[in-house]
Amino acid sequence: MTATMAGSHSARQRRLNWVWRAVALVFVAIILFPVYWMVNSSFEPQGQILSLTPSFFPVHFTFHNFVDATGRPFFLVDLRNSLIVVVSTVCVVLVVAFLAATAVTRFRLRGAKLFLVLVLVVQMVPTTALVIPLFLILDKARLLNSFQGLILTYVTLTLPFTIWALRGFVRAVPMDLEEAALVDGCSRLGAFRRILLPLVLPGLITTGVFSFITAWNDFLYANVIMQQQDRWTLSVWMFGFQTNTGTDYGGLMAASTIFALPVVIFFLLVQRRIVSGLTAGAVKG
Amino acid sequence: MPATAIGRTERLIPPAPSYRRRARRALRRQLLPFLLLLPALVLVGGVLGYPIGQLVATSFQQLGLFELIGHRVVWNGLTNYRTVFASSQFLDSLEQTALFVLATVGLTMLIGTGVALLMGRLGKILRTVVSVAMLLAWAMPSSAASIVWSWMFETEYGVVNYIAVSLGLHGFNNHDWFASALSAYSVVTAMIVWQAIPFVALSLYAALTLVPQELFEAAAIDGASPATIFRRVTFPLVRPIFVLLTVLSVIWDGNVFNQVWYLTAGRAQVINVIPLGVWQYIEAFSSQQYGLGAAVAVVTVVVLLLVTGYYIRIMVRMGETRA
């Protein structure tokens, strides 16, 4: 009796597992479709793209769109600008946010709660409303058209989220570990560097990805702050591309693919770390 | 006997430091964390403090192109706020924002939780496939995503209409997805949810893996249904991260501008159904009424604060009990 019950139970379980697998595959198809469509269109010649029966594989495979997109003026310069600005932003924001997260979790600091709330309130201000005043203050500081000005802007804009996220990661590291290191004769700085830093590393990588994407994506601020074409970032380049080409979807998709590529590479490099990083962050309970 | 014990302990405690020395020690204790916090404080205060102050000040001024060019400061008290609250657009936009946030955040959290739970029931290979697919979607920059989505939903050559017609839905032949507000916002919602699911699902899945497996087994042996297990065991354990993700989503989607702007390309303006973020932009930049735009922005912050305030308090408190 119990045996048959168990048998039917596991048969049901097996059937259910097949249902889950099917659901997962449908989900993967849906979530990947826009990415796939972008890459697919970027390899199609212009005439093929604007056809009433879109093909799901680039039958008339061509690199033309990519050659055309990368051949546009200032592509390499703008790519370099983007990399400089984004990599600097990520480095600076991680250091600053890590220090702040340590300050609010490891010490009884008066006003820490107020700081955390204020930082979230800052996130609520519509970014479009901040563009003009920010432009004016950067103008006064003579930081327009400079990498420093844009880096400063991105660091500040991504700080709120990074601080909140890192706060969770730092809190997840048991304080006993650091105290043990202190007892063993480690200096405060040594405990910080040898214990806290390695354990929070996955968290740093995960939050680094967030600031990377935010800074890489931004068009609004880069467009206002960087007015000379040789100072543009790749996102500004891409929108210039969009307005210049009208309905050249092949070129646009190629440009979008190129634009997305560095983020994907960065992602794949740190992919394993991200999942483990998110796990560590989740301990914050 | 008790008296001597007390006497002994009293002798062990060093004489109480003077008030001044205690104050100095307290100051030193506060100094290190304060120094650690200082760079963040300087950056947020220095770079955003002035613009935000300026924004609030502007909301009490009459500032159009005329005043801007002439560098004139014309204070007009609460006039902008009166205009905002008297405008029929205010309630419309508020309603639009509320519906939009409800739809995007609701769907994101619902599907995200579903995918996280699903990942726990999959084998290793399929789970990796799901994770990598989500990472690829997440890695696609939102500006690129806007272009791809508008291309997919294009009227004549868009692949979505093509697939719909291929499936026998001939009504979708040359269907204009952006003709009605509801349809246009459905596309925007789908795109935002698509972009947000990876972050939410991966975070929640990570949290779920930390829940001890025995808890589920014990509940299952006790005869609890899967729904009960989720409600009573799983959800309470991942609630903190769920709250953080929800609050952040509400803040981000409540200020939605980019996706609506790029995807509807100004068409939403024609149909006059716009969320607060877009209304603020139109007042400030298209109508060049910077004062009015600033007032809309300030009202938006207050609305978001009212909606999320309770949960922010919970989040801050959570830090206290754990630290």
**ipTM of predicted complex:** 0.79
* pLDDT value of residue B322: 41
Facing residue for A129 by CB, picked from B152, B202, B294: B294
Say if the Cβ atoms of A259 and B129 lie within 8 Å: no
Q: Can you give the pLDDT at residue B300?
A: 92
The span from the first CA to the last CA of chain A, in angstroms, equals 43
Q: pLDDT band for A273, please (50, 70, 90 cuts).
A: low
Does the pLDDT value for residue A279 go beyond 70? no
Largest CA distance in chain A: 84
How far is the C-alpha of B266 from the C-alpha of B268, rounded, in Å?
5
Length of chain B: 323
Report CB contact under 8 Å: A109, B33: yes
Interatomic CA distance for residues A96 and A98, integer angstroms? 6
Q: How far apart are CA B292 and CA B296, in angstroms?
A: 6
Region class of A187: left (phi > 0), else alpha (psi between -120 and 50), else beta: beta
For chain A, what is the total number of helices (H) and then of strands (E)? 13, 0
Do the Cβ atoms of B135 and A100 come within 8 Å? no
Q: How many angstroms separate the most distant Cα atoms in chain B? A: 97
Write out chain B residues lying below 8 Å of A127, CB-based: 255, 257
Chain B residues near residue A48 by CB distance under 8 angstroms: none
Bridge partner list, B61 = B75
Band of pLDDT at residue A271, cut at 50, 70 and 90: low
* Mean pLDDT of chain B, nearest integer: 82
Out of A129-133, A170-174, B71-75, B242-246, which region has the weakest mean confidence (pLDDT)?
Answer: A170-174
Q: Residue B265 in 3-state DSSP? A: coil
Predicted local confidence at residue A246, as pLDDT:
60
- Maximum average pLDDT range among A6-15, A74-83, A210-219: A74-83
pLDDT score at A1 = 40
Query: Domains in chain B, start-ordered, CATH in brackets?
Result: 69-322 (1.10.3720.10)
The residue ranges of DSSP E strands in A68-134, in sequence order, are: none
Q: A220-233 burial by CB neighbour count: b if 16+ within 10 A, else e?
A: bbbbbbbeeeebbb
- Cα–Cα distances (Å) from B276 to B97, B228, B261, in that order, read 6, 39, 12
Residue ranges of E strands in A123-199: none
Contacts of A96 in chain B (CB under 8 A): 39-40, 43
Touching B: A residues 225-264, CB under 8 Å: 235, 238-239, 242, 249, 252-253, 256-257, 259-260, 263-264
A93: tokens are: 């924001």
pLDDT surpasses 70 at B86: yes
CB-nearest to B40 from A27, A96, A259 is: A96
pLDDT at B221: 85
User: Considering CB atoms only, which of A52, A137, A163 is closest to B51?
Assistant: A137
At residue B169, does pLDDT exceed 70? yes
Amino acid A197 reads: L
Side-chain-facing half-sphere of B50: CA atoms under 13 Å: 15
Query: C-alpha distances in angstroms, B315 versus A100, A217, A284, B242, B321?
Result: 17, 28, 11, 11, 10
Position A129 pLDDT exceeds 50: yes
Tokens of A154: 């991105």
A275 and B202 in contact (C-beta within 8 Å)? yes
Residue with the two structure tokens 């932003």: A89
Q: Is the dihedral of CA A233, A239, A243, A246 positive or negative?
A: positive
Mean pLDDT of A12-37: 92
What is d(CA A198, CA A203) in angstroms, rounded to the nearest whole number? Answer: 10
Tell whether the model's pLDDT for residue A95 goes beyond 90.
yes
The CATH architecture one would assign to domain A73-282 is Orthogonal Bundle (1.10)
> According to the model, what pLDDT value does residue A239 have?
76
Where is average pLDDT lowest: A192-196, A280-284, B136-140, B231-235? Answer: A280-284
Q: How far is A213 from chain B (nearest CA, A)?
A: 7
CA gap B271, B181 in Å, rounded: 7
- Asked if A6 has any chain B CB less than 8 Å from its own CB, the reply is no
More confident call, A89 vs A137? A89
pLDDT over 70 (residue B270)? no
Q: How far apart are CA B226 and CA B240, in angstroms?
A: 21
Half-sphere exposure of A251 (CA within 13 A, CB side): 18
Cβ-Cβ contacts under 8 Å, B54 against chain A: 133, 136-137
Asked if pLDDT for residue A27 goes beyond 90, the answer is: yes
- A176-to-A14, A109, A169, A183, A198 alpha-carbon distances in Å: 45, 19, 15, 10, 15
Interface probe for A, chosen from B80, B122, B128, B148 (most Cβ of A below 10 Å), is: B148
Residues of A in contact with B65 (CB under 8 A): none
Cβ within 8 Å, pair B133-A271: no
Higher pLDDT, A5 or A105: A105
Q: Which tokens in the block code for residue A128? A: 């479009």
DSSP string, B98-153: HHHHHHHHHHHHHHHHHHHHHHHTS-HHHHHHHHHHHHHHHHS-HHHHHHHHHHHT
Q: Copy the structure tokens of residue A265.
A: 């590479």
Encode B84-104 in three state secondary structure: HHHCHHHHHHHHHHHHHHHHH
Q: CATH 1.10.3720.10 spans which residues of chain A?
A: 73-282
* B301/A49 Cβ within 8 A: no
Residues A171-224 pLDDT 10s: 777 777 778 888 888 887 888 788 888 778 777 877 888 888 889 888 889 988
Residue A31 sits at the chain B interface (C-beta within 8 Å): yes
For residues A251 and A46, give the distance between their C-alpha atoms in angstroms, rounded to a whole number: 8
pLDDT beyond 90 at A88 = yes
Write the single-letter amino acid at A73: P
What single string gives the DSSP state of each residue in A217-232?
A: H--HHHHHH--SGGG-
Report the range out of A38-52, B49-63, B134-148, B263-277 with the highest average pLDDT: B49-63
pLDDT digits (tens, 9 = 90+) for B231-245: 888 888 778 778 888
Q: How do residues B4-48 score in pLDDT, each as one tens digit?
A: 444 444 445 555 657 777 777 777 777 888 898 999 999 988 888
What pLDDT score does B11 carry? 47
B140: CB partners within 8 A, 6+ apart: A34, A35, A38, A260, A263, B148, B195
* Cβ–Cβ below 8 Å for B39 and A96: yes
The answer, for A149 touching chain B at a CB cutoff of 8 Å, is no
pLDDT band at B319; cut points 50, 70, 90 = low
Rounded CA separation B59/A275 (Å): 44
DSSP string, B281-319: HIIIIIS--HHHHHHHHHHHHHHHHHHHHHHHHHHHHHH
Which residues from A are below 8 Å from B242, CB to CB? Answer: none
Check whether A154 has a pLDDT greater than 90: yes
Better pLDDT: B104 or B49: B104
Give the pLDDT of residue B295: 92
| pLDDT beyond 50 at A264 | yes
Write the DSSP string, B224-240: --HHHHIIIIIHHHHHH
Considering only CA atoms, which of A263, A280, A142 is closest in space to residue A199? A280
pLDDT of residue A285: 35
Q: Do B126 and A153 touch (CB under 8 A)?
A: no
Whole-number pLDDT of residue B13: 54
Q: What is the pLDDT of residue B7?
A: 43
* φ/ψ (deg, to 5) at B140: -70, 120
Q: What is the dihedral sign for C-alpha B271, B274, B278, B282?
A: positive
Q: What is the pLDDT of residue B266?
A: 56
Distance CA B99, CA B96 (A): 5
Q: Which residues of A touch B190 (CB under 8 A)?
A: none
Q: Work out the mean pLDDT of chain A and round it to a whole number.
A: 82
**pLDDT: is B144 or B13 the higher one?**
B144
The enclosing H or E element of A155 equals: helix A147-172
Question: Is residue A148 a contact partner of residue B302, using CB atoms and an 8 Å limit?
Answer: no
Contacts of B112 in chain A (CB under 8 A): none
Mean of pLDDT values over A28-46: 90
The answer to whether A20 contacts B138, with C-beta atoms less than 8 Å apart, is no
CA-to-CA distance for A82 and B110, rounded, in angstroms? Answer: 35
Does the pLDDT value for residue A241 go beyond 90?
A: no
d(CA B36, CA B91): 44
